[in-house]
Structures are given as structure tokens and as C-alpha cells.
Amino acid sequence: MRLKEEVALVTGGGSGIGYAVVARFIAEGAHVGVLVKEEQDAHTLKQAFGDKVEVVVGDVRNYADNTKAVDATVARFGKLDCFVGNAGIWDFMAGLESQEVRLLESNYRELFDVNVKGYVLGAKASLAALRKSKGCMIFTASTSSFFTGGGGPLYIATKHAVLGFIRALAWELAPDIRVNGVAPGGTLTRIFGSQTAEDVSSMIAAITPLGFAAKPEDHAGIYALLASRTDGKFITGTVILNDGGISIGKRDKGIDI
Ligand code: NAD
């Protein structure tokens, strides 16, 4: 029970890594607000976690929706201790050369608005409540915050931006608010769109030194560590890689995702 009596807010918590973080935080004793885009995800969360969650449907690209999620969480559970920025989209490895300019511009807008602006607005919206609780922020970064090979240039640029944001914000908000990140490697979630779980799983397993694709719950304990006021209290400005070893080298250079 690392997070007993703590209150968190997770964006994109209706599926994948975000959902696993919600589940783990609740198992560790927390109450959790969740900002989701899809009504169906809101329904699933309420069914699974009942009165332990407060779910708001909205879009991380809108400041008003981020504020609504913070306000609803604080109104329901009395405070906010941890903001988890996690909602994100992928670019399906689209190269610069293959995208005609108008498509490139709209992909740029969408990827940067969701993956970067969404985190910036969520941080801004949760700041006052976190100052009050001397809480923390955690952002889902990626191996793509450090290396190429896990996305096209636009996705990789957004995740490099997330790394800079975490480090700069940790410096700005110390000593009151800790700011950290988790950098997952290839993980079986719906971010890969219509590609089948088997295909994604075998592609990731083939290139990952540990030989398997992560499941969302394989990352959740790291978020709990960073959110913990005891175990995480000296950690800020850090991004923890949880990537099956891919940062030390791909296992099979012949296969790429
Ligand atoms: P996912 O698709 O299951 O989760 C992403 C969530 O974000 C979804 O619930 C989606 O509805 C939500 N979302 C998307 N756009 C939104 C918007 N505009 N407003 C509100 N919510 C929105 O995929 P995931 O893999 O769990 O992704 C979570 C995070 O993990 C992302 O930031 C992603 O970049 C990162 N990540 C994933 C992997 C991987 O291999 N799956 C690897 C590294 C990093």
C-alpha cells in the first residue's frame, strides 16, 4: 500500500499503460481521477473500479478539459497528490519523405498537440493543487525520448520534447513538486491500431534483448515508485527506462518496428 490516502489523476487512463497505472494506484490504496477521450472507456473504468475512480470525458488538447478533470478529482477526493500525463498517439513509423506536405502538417499538429501540448496543459491545470499537496507529476515518455527506431521522426520528436519538458519542469518546480517520467519500450496496447497483437508481440519480442513485448501492467509499479512519498522522495528530473534492454542494442538488426 504505497499510495494509501493519495489522490492521482491519469490522462489516457481508459486503456493500455494508463489503465494499468489506474489499476495499480488503486491497488496501492489511492483514489484516481481519469481523463479519457472515449465514452466507452469511461464506462469500462466505472465498471471495474466503482467509487475509487472519478472519470471525466474530454480531450487533453483542451485546457478546459484538463481543468475539468483536476476540479472533478479534487471535488470528489479532496485533493490532488500526483498528476500522470500519459495520453498519447503514435505515427506508425511514417517517414518525412513519404508524407506529402499537407499531410505532414496535419500529422505534425496532431502528434505535437496530443503528445506534447496535452502534457503541458495537464501540468498547468494541476499545478495549483500539486503546490498545495507538495505532490508530483509523472509523464509517460518512451524509448523514443532517447533513441530512434521506435517511430517516425515526428513521434520521436514529440517524445524527445517530453524528455526536455520533464527535466525543465523538475528544475522549475523543485523543491515543492517532483517531476519524473517513465520510458516504456514496446508494449502491447491499442496504440498500434489495426496491427494484430500477435504481429506486434512477435515484432517487439524479436528485437528486444529480454525477448518479449511488455504488457501495460509491467510498467505500472514504476509509476507507483515515482508517486510514492517515501520510496520516490529523492527522485526528480529522472526518466526511468523500462524497455527490456533495447537501449543497450536491438537483438535482431534485421527486424524493425
Ligand atoms: P493506448 O492507445 O492504449 O493509450 C493511449 C490513450 O490515450 C488512449 O486511451 C487514448 O484514448 C488516449 N488519448 C489519445 N488521444 C487523446 C486525446 N486527444 N485526449 C485524451 N485522451 C487521448 O496506448 P499506450 O501504449 O498505453 O499509450 C500510452 C502512452 O504510452 C503514450 O504516451 C505512448 O506514447 C506511450 N508509449 C507507448 C509505448 C507502446 O509500445 N505501447 C511505448 C512507449 C511509450
DSSP 63-101: HHHHHHHHHHHHHHHS---EEEE------TT--TTTS-H
Q: Quick check: is 119 catalytic?
A: no
Ligand 1 mutation pick, 189, 223, 243, 256, max ligand atoms within 8 A of CB: 189
**What is the C-alpha radius of gyration for the chain, rounded to an integer number of angstroms?**
17
- Percent with pLDDT over 90 in the chain: 93
Question: Whose alpha carbon is nearest atom 36 of ligand 1?
Answer: 142
- Helix residue ranges per DSSP H, the chain: 16-27, 39-49, 63-77, 101-112, 118-133, 153-173, 197-207, 217-227
Question: Whose alpha carbon is nearest atom 13 of ligand 1?
Answer: 87
CB of 181 sitting under 6 A from ligand 1 = no
Which residue would you say has higher pLDDT here, 104 or 194? 104
pTM: 0.97
Which tens digit of pLDDT belongs to each residue from 89-105?
Answer: 999 999 999 999 999 99
Whole-number Å distance, alpha carbon 191 to ligand 1 midpoint, is 6
Question: Whose alpha carbon is nearest atom 12 of ligand 1?
Answer: 12
Ligand 1 mutation pick, 139, 140, 215, max ligand atoms within 8 A of CB: 140
Which tens digit of pLDDT belongs to each residue from 54-90?
Answer: 999 999 999 999 999 999 999 999 999 999 999 999 9
- Quick one: pLDDT at residue 251? 85
